[in-house]
Structure 1
Amino acid sequence: MNPKPNKDPLHGLTLEAIVTELVEHFGWEELGQRIAIRCFQSDPSVASSLKFLRKTPWARAKVESLYLFMLRERARNAPRSSP
């Protein structure tokens, strides 16, 4: 019996991978504007952000939501190939 593939885009991703990809995509300045938390605005680093996000569920939810938004935008803007 084959298990069903998981359709959750966050499945298997670490919080570190999510934060790193958001920083690469938006940069710290824009990330701090989109999610107004101090760990993104004042002397930001992945390590300090992870420490805060792991203890703060509402902030982690915002980060995950922004990541899903980024994935949807990428998919929407991806060039479509002709068959």
Structure 2
Amino acid sequence: MSNEQPNNPLHGVKLAEILEKLVEHYGFEELSERININCFKSNPTVKSSLKFLRRMPWAREKVENLYLKLIQKQKKA
């Protein structure tokens, strides 16, 4: 049985990579406007945000969805 997921753009992409890409593109200020969670508003760091996102599936899902929108937008450009 194969573990490949050719139709899943998140397969093999670590949460840290996703967050770093979003912070690089948007910055924490705009990221906090797009996703209203405190870890992006109050003294944000990648490390503290990752800790929060790993514990809160609902927040991680929002971050992953924003990442998917970003990569789709970049593919069209």
What TM-score do the two structures reach when normalised by structure 2?
0.91
Q: What amino acid is aligned across from residue 35 of structure 1 in structure 2?
A: I
Query: Displacement of 1:6 after TM fit?
Result: 1.8
Residues 4-29 of structure 1, C-alpha deviation per residue, up to 9 Å, x if partnerless?
Answer: 66221101011000000000011111
Q: Which residue of 1 aligns with 2:50?
A: 50
- Letter matched to residue 56 of structure 2: T
Separation of aligned partners in 2, 1:4 and 1:17 = 19
Of structures 1 and 2, the one scoring higher in RCO (CA 8 A, sep 6+) is 2
Residue equivalent to 1:10: 10
Runs of 4+ in 1 over 2 A off after TM superposition: 2-5
Other-structure match for 2:41: 41
Q: Pick closer, same or farther for the CA change 1:40–1:5 going to 2, 3 Å.
A: closer
Unmatched tracts of structure 2, length 5 or more: none
Q: CA RMSD in A?
A: 1.6
- SS at 1:10 equivalent: coil
What residue is the counterpart of 1:32 in the other structure? 32
TM-score by length of 1: 0.85
Q: Which one-letter code corresponds to 1:26 in the other structure? A: Y
C-alpha displacement of 1:76: 1.4
Q: Name stretches of at least 5 consecutive residues in structure 1 with no aligned partner.
A: 78-83
**Sequence identity percentage:** 51
- Counterpart CA distance in 2 for 1:71 and 1:33 is 19
